[in-house]
């Protein structure tokens, strides 16, 4: 990872995180706990980090926003291309009213509207690709594990008319937003959200009753990165953090990684809920692929690995879609994958078709075994 910003202004950091999330760029904040050691909440600046593959594009997005703010331009489109000119040396102060508690954002070219927290974890492109990879048809049932504000569940229901989707989420605040989002998009008759988690699932969930199970699980193992003090962001990114209550995030980290809270628990629960012949689809970091395949082995087969390549260079994939079939004994296959960005930074035609127009991800391809 590379350092993009360093600041002790939490409003600036939240603004930058939200801006980059809108461009599909995941960020990490380091040094959150150093200020406590130093005895001052603002003594040690925090570092906003991005993966190496996205650093240049992320810097261009921030530089463009700096220029627009310095001109007083508040009506910019965060999806526009970054400017070629030189950015100002300093970042202007970001008014707090630019970071509301909840924002309403457009997905699939504005065809789906979702309300989500302005701070903490914010949905970007990962749940869009996840939903587009599920091979559901009308009349089937799908389960979204760790639904958050309902992004993947609602995008999947929007894509497949006649599909019924159930989402399970542990955080009450996110569950409330997910239900509101279902009503906002006129999908409440086919999409239902329930409170619960992997160790305490809702009693209404019947094992083996879903044609498809999907998940965007926490990407990081405990110890790989500092857990954010924001419960939503920490729970979405670090295994074993979600659902922390009385003890807070620091207390939850002691519990992180215990049996039943990591990646294996997500896979095990998904396989229990899927019917024979049903699919389990996940999106994850490419550097966790070995872990994911290891826990799938013996539980499902016919595994397809579908890389999401950052561009047309030799840069490695950062994300992978993995789909398995419960009860299948077919061998694993490595798909060609999909390239996300052209040389100029914009999305490729194939990626744009998924992100803006709701096209499916061809994860199985033609004639794939099941």
Q: Which domains does the chain have, with CATH numbers?
A: 1-99 (3.30.70.790), 101-218+262-370 (3.40.50.150)
% of the chain residues with pLDDT over 70: 72
User: Measured between alpha carbons, how far is 246 from 217 in angstroms, rounded to an integer?
Assistant: 23
- Quick: pLDDT tens for 66-109: 776 665 544 433 333 333 333 333 443 434 443 338 999 999 99
- Between CA 294 and CA 90 the distance in angstroms is 47
CB-CB contact of 157 with 183 (8 Å): no
Distance CA 50, CA 5 (A): 10
Each residue of 204-223: pLDDT tens digit? 899 999 999 999 999 876 65
Written as six digits, the tokens of 247 are: 């003890």
Of 82, 21, 65, nearest in space to 233 by CA:
21
Residues 6+ apart with CB under 8 A from 40: none
Contact, 25 vs 57, CB < 8 A? yes
Residue 54 DSSP label: G
* Core vs surface per residue 274-311: b (16+ CB within 10 A) or e: bbeebbbbbbbbbebeebbeebbeebbbbbbbbbbbbb
Does residue 79 contact residue 107 with C-beta atoms inside 8 Å?
Answer: no
Q: Average pLDDT, whole number, for the chain?
A: 79
For residue 186, which of 152, 157, 212, 145 has the smallest C-alpha distance?
A: 157
Name the packing angle between helices 289-296 and 263-273 (round to 10°): 40
336 conformational bin, left if phi > 0, alpha if psi -120 to 50, beta if neither: alpha
178 has a pLDDT exceeding 90: yes
pTM of the complete model: 0.67
**CB atoms closer than 10 angstroms to residue 315:** 13
CA–CA gap between residue 349 and residue 355 (Å, rounded): 10
How confident is residue 261, by pLDDT bands cut at 50, 70 and 90? low
């Amino acid at each position: 990872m590379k350092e993009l910003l360093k600041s002790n202004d939490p409003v600036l950091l939240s603004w930058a995180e939200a801006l980059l999330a809108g461009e599909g760029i995941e960020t990490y904040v380091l040094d959150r706990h150093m200020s406590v050691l130093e005895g001052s909440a603002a003594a040690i600046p925090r570092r906003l980090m991005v993966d190496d593959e996205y650093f240049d594009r992320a810097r261009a997005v921030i530089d463009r926003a700096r220029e627009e703010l310095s001109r007083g331009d508040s009506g910019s489109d965060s999806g526009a291309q970054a400017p070629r000119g030189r950015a100002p040396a300093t970042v202007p102060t970001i008014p707090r009213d630019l970071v509301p508690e909840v924002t309403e954002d457009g997905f699939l070219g504005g065809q789906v509207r979702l309300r989500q927290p302005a701070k903490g974890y914010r949905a970007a492109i990962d749940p869009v690709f996840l939903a587009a990879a599920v091979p559901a048809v009308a009349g089937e049932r799908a389960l979204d594990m760790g639904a958050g504000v309902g992004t993947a569940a609602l995008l999947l229901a929007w894509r497949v008319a006649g599909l019924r989707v159930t989402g399970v989420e542990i955080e009450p605040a996110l569950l409330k937003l997910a239900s509101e989002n279902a009503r906002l998009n006129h999908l409440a008759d086919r999409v239902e959200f329930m409170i619960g988690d992997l160790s305490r699932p809702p009693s209404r969930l019947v094992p083996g009753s879903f044609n498809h199970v999907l998940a965007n699980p926490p990407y990081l193992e405990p110890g790989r990165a500092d857990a954010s003090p924001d419960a939503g962001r920490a729970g979405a990114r670090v295994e074993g953090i979600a659902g922390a209550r009385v003890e807070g995030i620091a207390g939850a980290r002691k519990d992180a990684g215990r049996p039943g809270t990591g990646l294996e628990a997500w896979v095990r629960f998904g396989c229990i809920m899927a019917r024979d012949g049903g699919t389990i689809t996940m999106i994850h970091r490419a550097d966790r692929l070995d872990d994911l395949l290891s826990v799938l082995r013996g539980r499902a087969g016919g595994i397809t690995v579908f890389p999401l390549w950052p561009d047309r260079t030799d840069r490695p994939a950062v994300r992978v879609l993995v789909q398995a079939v419960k009860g299948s004994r077919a061998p694993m296959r490595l798909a060609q994958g999909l390239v996300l960005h052209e040389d100029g930074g914009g999305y490729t035609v194939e990626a744009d078709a998924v992100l803006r127009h709701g096209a499916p991800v061809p994860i199985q391809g033609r004639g794939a075994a099941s």
